[in-house]
Amino acid sequence: MKAQRLGVDTGGTFTDAVRVDASGRWRISKLPTTAANPQQAILATVDALFPAVGEGVELIHGTTHATNALLTHNLGKVAFLTTQGFADLLAIGRQERDEVYALEPTVSRPLQPRRRVVEVGERLAADGKVLCNLGREEVQRVVRKVEQLSVDAVAVCLLHAFRNPIHERRLGKSLKSLGIPVVLSHEVAPEIREYERASTTWADAALIPVVRQALLALADSLQQQRPQSSLRMMRSDGGTAAVSAAVKHPVHLALSGPAGGLSAALSLATARGDRYLMTLDMGGTSTDVAWLDCSLVEQKPVSVGGLPLMARGLPIHSVGTGGGSLAEVDPGGQIQVGPQSAGAVPGPACYQRGGQHATLTDAHLHCGRLLPQAFLGGNFSLQPKLSAQVLHHLGEKVKAAADEVARQILQIAQADMERALRRVSLAEGHDPRESVLYAFGGAGALHAAWLADGLQMRGVVVPPCAGAFSALGLLGAPARRRLSQTMLRPLPKRRERRRLFASLVQSLKQELREEGLKEKELTVQCWLELRSRGQDGIFTLAEGPKAAHRFHQLQRQRFGFCRQDAEVELHAITVQVDGPQHAPWKKRRMRRQAAQAYGHGRAWFGTTGKMAKAYYFAREEMQPGSFLQGPAIVTEYSATTVVPPCWRAWVDAWDCLCLEPLR
């Protein structure tokens, strides 16, 4: 029997899992994350959804392991090899200030000790010509030096190696004799920008000893319990890779966790016919937002903890505001929310696990937006009295009642999220009025209506399995390989461009064939990264006819003018090869009917200073075509949706709960 697919997303607070049963229905498991040993919660979700002992599972896993390792600097010891005279490359970095007005700015740099940096006697010109040859004696000297350092991995980043990798290959071949992982920059990031290429290569090497051990241990434990099972990993680009391939270059897992949600949102938006969308993925620790155009999903270099990485990923912007974000008093005597989080343990005070600080979840519960009896289907009891206690304690510090403190916490968190949405839309030249807000994560739909209203968006879509949507996205993610390569040349004719793409296409296809995919199952997409000569405004567009004309149109759309007299330069090419898609969306027949409430209570909706009457609806009981009008609270196993006054909601043919204002 073929192994069944299971998507598991490990977050800071909960580990979510989703599978499709024999009847085509989604089944969800949501368990607290076991931070000390993440695989414990992962394997528990497998047992919860596949109770039959020994039943084979194809587990697709989204993980924050690489992200957390980079943020906490829990990394392996690395020997960094670079061209002679560039030993301080990682230490100098870029002379940029993320916080322009900070009096004492902090700069993020790879924590690479100078004693573990090895200079190599070689040199290439900018066009890749050899200026100083790397001889055999120099190679032997470098290998001996690395051996003396007793490191866990080696990162090799030589000047202009993306143009000509001859010296990196020579070093890599000799360094293999040491029996430790060796990462070559031209393999992981064959692109221009020396510091970014160096930081990516260094991060990849530093992650290997940590991530490889954890993921291979998970794969072994899974196979011991279920011999016919396999493990695949979600990558930052929204595709998956076999665990054996993922651990070779774990830098591509830097945004593995949130990529599942964006991948699912893209496939659902394509099915529904929404071209422009913004996503709001709010979990227990943070909120991830993005602006997406389904016709062309531009992937960009990612950044983790201020460290730039050329491992391209879906365009995610994160803020430290989640359900578990702590509410504290800042030095100025004002309430601030996040970025510190209560996590899974002890969690919010209402979780009854010893939490002593007010969180965003406590504020929602106190304001009546979360129902204690409906949280996780009633299997996870919330205690309102504990929330009231910590809110009262915080209120004493700012001389305010618990009710007022809870409302301030909600408003502050909402302002932070709205600022993030403006950052990915208006600040990038996109009009939010053209888009729909896709809200998911356990807490996304608690804030979605107010955020959409503030940005005058078309409405809100709360997808099925909203609280485990990232895990659902893992189910549909295809096997994928994606690579960009710098060109820096005048835009060639289409025939010449086909030749440039050919070698990359064959290389990526080979990687997927090694994972068992067949040639006929693979689809190829190619993109051009273009700019005007002498400028840095780079635009990505699909390979095809009239490339220069389309580039000028994008220039005019973004900047209000275009330089048609300037030579168009091919900055880079990008190739993506995908395996079969597994989109789980099925369109159902709608039957218009009023949804039936199962109860009512009082909640604060922000319109007045008083609590208002709200009716409670169970989403599981609502069928396509069911509708209701706010004020209302819609509960489901993994999430809660708030429908404010003067808003309406209905279930569409794709089982999405859609919200829009009554204008």
CATH code at 54? 3.30.420.40
pLDDT at 603 over 70: yes
pTM: 0.87
Q: DSSP H helical segments within 435-535, as ranges?
A: 444-454, 469-476, 494-513
Chain segment 233-255, per-residue pLDDT in tens: 999 998 999 999 999 999 999 98
Give the mean model confidence (pLDDT) for residues 431-459: 95
Give yes or no: residues 557 and 616 share one domain.
no
Give a yes or no: residue 306 inside a domain. Answer: no
* Mean pLDDT of the 502-531 span: 93
- Residue 21's region, left for phi above 0, alpha for psi from -120 to 50, else beta, is beta
**CA-based radius of gyration for the chain:** 26
- Please give the tally of structural domains in the chain: 4
Q: Do 83 and 150 fall into the same domain?
A: yes
Tokens of 454: 């503030």
Q: Which residue has the higher pLDDT, 98 or 433?
A: 433
Does residue 573 lie within any of the structural domains?
yes
CATH number of the domain enclosing 505: 3.30.1490
35 and 95 inside one domain: no
Query: How many other C-beta atoms lie within 10 A of the C-beta of residue 43?
Result: 21
Strand partners, 318: 288
Inside any domain, residue 425: no
The domain boundary, picked from 165, 183, 203, lies at 203
Exposed, middle or buried by CB within 10 Å (0-12, 13-18, 19+), for 289? buried
The confidence score (pLDDT) of residue 446 equals 96
Q: Which of 511, 544, 578 is the last residue of a domain?
A: 578
> Is the pLDDT assigned to residue 476 strictly greater than 80?
yes
173/83 same-domain check = yes
Closest to 550 in 3D by CA, of 533, 583, 528, 572: 528
In a domain, 80, yes or no: yes
Lowest mean pLDDT among 95-104, 319-328, 361-370, 563-572: 95-104
- Describe the strand order of the beta sheet including 276-282 as a list of residue ranges: 317-319, 287-293, 276-282, 436-440, 460-462, 657-661, 647-651, 626-629, 593-594
Same domain, 133 and 230: no
pLDDT at 378 (0 to 100): 79
| Cα–Cα distance for residue pair 578/237, rounded to 1 Å | 11
Q: Are 193 and 179 found together in one domain?
A: yes
Same domain, yes or no, for 89 and 197?
yes
Alpha carbon 609 to its chain centroid, in Å, reads 37
Count the neighbouring beta carbons within 10 Å of the beta carbon of residue 549.
10
Which strand (E) or helix (H) includes residue 540? strand 539-542
Residue 293: closest CA among 269, 271, 317, 316:
269
DSSP string, 422-436: HHHTGGGT--GGG-E
The mean pLDDT value for 349-362 works out to 92
Among 477, 443, 449, 476, residue whose Cα is nearest residue 461:
449
Please, which pLDDT band fits residue 585 given cuts at 50, 70 and 90?
Answer: confident
Question: Tell me, what's the pLDDT at 242?
Answer: 94
pLDDT the model gives residue 429: 83
Angle among Cα 324, 326, 331 to the nearest 5 degrees reads 165
* Residue 224 shares a structural domain with residue 192: no
- Residue pair 395/402 in contact (Cβ under 8 Å)? The answer is yes
Terminal-residue alpha carbon distance, the chain: 53
* 109, 150: one domain: yes
Tell me if 163 sits within 8 A of 128, measured CB to CB.
Answer: yes
- How far, CA to CA in Å, does 222 sit from each of 30, 39, 225, 228? 19, 9, 5, 9
Q: Does any domain span residue 466? A: no
Mean residue pLDDT across the chain: 91
Q: pLDDT at residue 1 above 60? A: no
236 Cβ contact list (under 8 Å, min separation 6): 252, 253, 254, 255, 256, 259, 302, 311, 312, 313, 314
Does residue 544 sit in the same domain as residue 651?
no
Is residue 452 assigned to a domain? no
Query: Cis peptide leading into 631, omega within 30 of 0?
Result: yes
Q: Which of 54-58, 350-354, 419-423 has the lowest mean pLDDT?
A: 54-58
Q: Which residues of 190-223 are buried (b: 16+ CB within 10 A; e: fewer)?
A: bbbbbbbbbbbbbbbbbbbbbbbebbeebbebbe
Q: Is the pLDDT score of 600 beyond 70?
A: yes
**Region 46-67 average pLDDT:** 87
Band of pLDDT at residue 409, cut at 50, 70 and 90: very high
Whether residue 144 is contained in a domain is answered as: yes
Q: Which percentage of the chain shows pLDDT scores above 70?
A: 99
Indicate if the pLDDT at residue 6 is higher than 70: yes
Whether residue 502 is found in the same domain as residue 546? yes
Tell me phi and psi for residue 486, to 5 degrees.
-70, 140
Say if residue 72's pLDDT is above 90.
no
Could you tell me which residues come within 8 angstroms of residue 184 by beta carbon, excluding any fewer than 6 positions away? 156, 161, 165, 168, 169, 171, 172, 201
The arithmetic mean of pLDDT across residues 133-141, rounded, is 96
Is 246 found in the same domain as 140?
no
Residue-level pLDDT at 255: 87
Residue 647 has pLDDT above 90, yes or no: yes
**Which helix (H) or strand (E) is 91 found in, with range?**
helix 89-92
Residue type, position 382, single letter: L
Model confidence band, residue 306 (pLDDT cutoffs 50, 70, 90): confident
pLDDT of residue 343: 78
3-state helix, strand, coil in the chain (%, to 5): 35, 25, 35
Identify whether 275 is part of a domain: no
Residue 54 scores a pLDDT above 80 = no
Domain coverage including residue 112: 76-203
